[in-house]
Amino acid sequence: MVLYSLSLKMRLVVILIVIFAGELGYARQQVTISTVDIDHFWEAYDSLASAHDSIAVFQRLYIDRATRGLKEFIKARNFEAGEYVTLIKNFPKFWTSIRPNTERIATRKAEIESIFQKFKELYPAFQSPDVCFSIGCLRTGGTTSPRLILIGSEIASADSSTQTAEFTGWHARVLANLSDITTMVAHEAVHTQQKNNRGYAKGYYNHRLLTQSIREGCADFIGSLLTGSIINNVQYEYGLTHEAELWKEFQQHMNGPDFSRWLYNGITSVERPADLGYFIGFRICERYYNQSKNKAKAIRDLLSIKDYPKFLKKSGYGFPN
C-alpha cells in the first residue's frame, strides 16, 4: 500500500509538471511577432508601377489587408492610402534603400524573443506583449496599445545605409543615426509594463512635461539595460554636451503641459535635436537606478512611479542653480 501510495503521488507530480510545462508553452505560443504587413506593403508598392488608380490599389493591397496590429496602428496614427502614395512618390531613393532592412526583420524574431527573456530576468513580473512590424508614414518609430507593440519599420530599421538626401529637418538628421529595431522594441516593451499606462499618475501632474519625460526616459533607460544601446544617438550626444543648460531650462517648464520644445517636436525643432525630454527623463531614471542598492527594486520602482516630482527628488538628479 505504501509503494502504491508513493507511485500514485509520483504520478500526480508528473501530471502536474506536464500541465505546468504545457501552460508555459501555451503562454509562449500566444506571443506573436508579426511581419505580414511588411510583405503586404511591398506587394502594394510594387503594384503602383502599373496602377491606374494608385490610391485604390494601395488601399486594397495594404490597408484593407491589415493585420490586427496594423489596424491598431492606423487607428492610433490615422494612416491613409493617399499619404503612403505621396510619400512613395516623393522619396523614391529612401524607399529603395530601406526595403532590404524591413524585409530582413522576419529573420530576426529570435532577437526580439531574447530581449523579452532578458526583460523577464530583470523584472520577473514582465508579461510578453505581441509585436507587429508594419510600415507607417514616416511619422513614428513605435507605439503601443494594450499588450501590443506597434513598430513603424521604415523608421525603426533605418541605419547608415539608408538614403536620407531627399529629406530635410528631423528625418535628415536622425534616420541614418538610429540604433536598431531591437532598441525600438525594447523601448516600447517598457511602455507595456509601466503602471497607469492609460492615464499616467492621477492628480495635477497628469500629462505634465516632467511626467511624460520621465515615462519616455524610463523606456529609453530600461531599454538600454536590455540592449546596451539607445534609440537616438544624436539626441543623447547633444544632451550630454549641453546637460547643465538643458536642465536649467527644463526646470522652468517641467510642471506645465507645454511639450513643444521637449517632446514629439521632430518637425519643429531646428536649432537643436528634437525630443530632448527623453534625454532628461533618461538621466533622471539612470541616476535613480545607479544610486539604488537594490537594483531589482529600482526596476520595479521605475515601472510604477505615481508621484513624479517626488521621484525626481528621490533620484537626486539635478545641477545647482
Q: Is the pLDDT of residue 191 over 50?
A: yes
Q: How confident is the model at residue 203 (pLDDT cuts 50, 70, 90)?
A: low
- What pLDDT is attached to residue 28? 45
- What pLDDT is attached to residue 267? 81
- What pLDDT is attached to residue 197? 54
Q: How confident is the model at residue 170 (pLDDT cuts 50, 70, 90)?
A: confident
Q: Is the pLDDT of residue 7 over 90?
A: no
- What pLDDT is attached to residue 268? 87
As a whole number, the mean pLDDT across the chain is: 88
- How confident is the model over 117-144, as a mean pLDDT? 96
The model's pLDDT over 214-251, given as tens digits with 9 standing for 90+, comes to 999 999 999 999 999 999 888 999 999 999 999 999 99
Q: Is the pLDDT of residue 175 over 80?
A: yes
- What pLDDT is attached to residue 206? 63
Q: Is the pLDDT of residue 5 over 60?
A: no
Higher pLDDT, 170 or 277: 277
pTM given for the model:
0.86
Higher pLDDT, 264 or 19: 264
Higher pLDDT, 320 or 37: 37
- What pLDDT is attached to residue 30? 59
The model's pLDDT over 15-37, given as tens digits with 9 standing for 90+, comes to 343 344 444 443 444 579 999 99
Per-residue 3-state assignment (H helix, E strand, C coil) for the chain: CHHHHHHHHHHHHHHHHHHHHHHHHHHHHCCCEECHHHHHHHHHHHHHHHCCCHHHHHHHHHHCCCCHHHHHHHHHHCCCHHHHHHHHHHCHHHHHHHHHHHHHHHHCHHHHHHHHHHHHHHCCCCCCCEEEEECCCCCCCEEEECCEEEEEHHHHCCCCCCCCCCCCHHHHHHHHHECCHHHHHHHHHHHHHCCCCCCCCCCCCCCCHHHHHHHHHHHHHHHHHHHCCCCEHHHHHHHHHCHHHHHHHHHHHCCCCCCCCCCCCCCCCCCCCCCHHHHHHHHHHHHHHHHCCCHHHHHHHHCCCCCHHHHHHHHCCCCCC
Higher pLDDT, 125 or 171: 125
